Amino acid sequence: MARIECPKCHHVVDTPGIVTVCPECGADLRGVMEELAHRREKMRDVAHDDSVTTHEFIVRTKELEKIYVMGEVEVPALRGVEINIRRGEYLSIMGPSGSGKSTLFNMVGGLDKPTKGTCFIEEVDMAQLDAFELAWLRCRKIGYIFQTFNLIPVMTALENVTLPMIFAGMSSDEMMERGAMLLELVGLGDRLHHKPYELSGGQQQRVAVARALANAPAIILADEPTGNLDLQTGKEIIDLLKELNEESGVTIISATHDLKMIDVSDRVVHIRDGQVERIENRADIDLDVGSLGSEADPELDE
């Protein structure tokens, strides 16, 4: 409990709860303490009221737990993760491999079901959705980018980008036009009819980014998007994501252990052993990294 002020002599008591009487004037402090506790409870209720949080948080997780059963051994991958992700935010989930960040990614993206706890997307409880609604959510609300690109190998870049639009029921002409525009946006306007194997890794990932944007989702989930790319190409993809985030306001959630991501992230969530270790805001990180980076990399000064 925080410090309270004695109502009589205005002496500040540091340890209410241990001391129930003001050490200066001997007045009874229990009334003030009760009032404070009551006020706190009220604040907590407000924080949990959906109507208050709806617009601020696009993704919320609540006591998210995931246990993988491998033979007879139970391996906990997530142990009560609670994060709130703001609309329009560029959030990075960092952690060593095996820390549970990919598992968290799968839960938030509706790709797997948690063992316990829930995940809310735009205040919709994912656990309550049936298969159709879940597919709709994946199709319209979330765009996915993977470490291994996961393009459909038999389709051209344009066909890959338009596939989610087919599912969304878009007309053929509209689809082609939008697909071409999206590829243009990611800088592949001249590669529309190339197959994935005819493209470099960076180009394939750009196609994946365009595909993630197909139905103008509110969230882009990226699982180690730079994991299979060299430094320069990785940087290009990160910059592309950041620019998209700034221009279109799409929320980007990226699981990564690429330190280049820190520069562009609004917040960084550090995961360790299936729990949130700490959450850093960009302002704090700038202080840590900025002085080092500006000497080593002159580009950062721009």
Partner 1 sequence: MINKELARKLYAEDDRLEPGAEVQRQITLPWGQAARISYRNVTMRLGRAMITGAGVVLGIAFLCSVWTAKVAQEGIARFEATSATYVGGEEASLAPGAEEAEAEAKARAARQAWLVVMSLLVSAVGITNSMLMSVTERFREIGTMKCLGALDEFIVRLFLIESAVLGMLGSIVGAILGHLIMLVVYITKERGVAAMMDWGQMVEYILIALGIGTVLSLFAAVPPAVRAARMPPAAALSTEI
- What are the residues binding partner 1 (CB under 8 A)? 106, 109, 111-113, 131-132, 135-136, 138-140, 144, 146, 150-155, 159, 163-164, 166-169, 178, 181-182, 184-187, 211, 213-216, 240, 243-244, 247-250
* 71 versus 153: smaller Cβ distance to partner 1: 153
CB of 138 to partner 1, least distance (A): 5
CB of 185 to partner 1, least distance (A): 5
CB of 49 to partner 1, least distance (A): 23
> Which of 35, 39, 4 shows the shortest CA–CA distance to 22?
4
- DSSP type of residue 128: G
CB of 207 to partner 1, least distance (A): 12
> Which of 112, 108, 146, 149 shows the shortest CA–CA distance to 224?
146
List, in order, residues 6 or more apart from 206 with CB less than 8 Å away: 186, 187, 188, 237, 240
* 254 versus 268: smaller Cβ distance to partner 1: 254
Q: At what angle do helices 157-167 and 131-140 cross, to 10 degrees?
A: 140
Q: Is 274 exposed, middle or buried (0-12, 13-18, 19+ CB in 10 A)?
A: buried
* 98 versus 249: smaller Cβ distance to partner 1: 249
CB of 99 to partner 1, least distance (A): 16
CB of 215 to partner 1, least distance (A): 7
CB 63 within 8 A of CB 116: yes
* 33 versus 134: smaller Cβ distance to partner 1: 134
CA of 108: how far to CAs of 19, 195, 255, in Å?
45, 30, 11
* 200 versus 248: smaller Cβ distance to partner 1: 248
CA of 207: how far to CAs of 13, 59, 197, 218, 275, in Å?
62, 26, 12, 18, 33
- DSSP type of residue 248: H
* 244 versus 269: smaller Cβ distance to partner 1: 244
CB 203 within 8 A of CB 197: no
